[in-house]
Amino acid sequence: MQKRTWITLIVRFDVTDADGFAAMAEEMAEASRREPGTHLYDWYFDNATGQGMLLESYPSHEALMDHVEGPVFTEIAPRHRGVARPAAIDVFGGEGMEQTDLLKAPTTWWGEPIAAVTD
């Protein structure tokens, strides 16, 4: 199989303020729509459990770094501190990235797929 450069993340949140979480998600999604390297950036919330989830995907490490250095982290996240806490993160791909706990949450690094339909 050809080596891929895609990086996909699933971020799970413990939400403390549902309305604040929704506002933060909407603002972050709007900013991410303007990033040419952000290909997937979908937020979810489960009313029954109070859990949130973000699915995000980038075609390269550079595109992910552009996102991390952009307004989502530098402007929006600081304004919404306290509405949610990252609970767990799964990283798919990301070869060459420092494998630490991202956002100070337990992080599982899955590496490259062993079989895939997508490039």
2: DSSP letter = P
Cβ neighbors of 50 (< 8 A, separation 6 or more) are: 14, 15, 18
At 4, the pLDDT band (50, 70, 90 cuts) reads: confident
d(CA 8, CA 40): 8
Task: Say what the pTM is.
Answer: 0.92
Mean pLDDT for 6-30 is: 97
Q: Give percent above pLDDT 70 in the chain.
A: 97
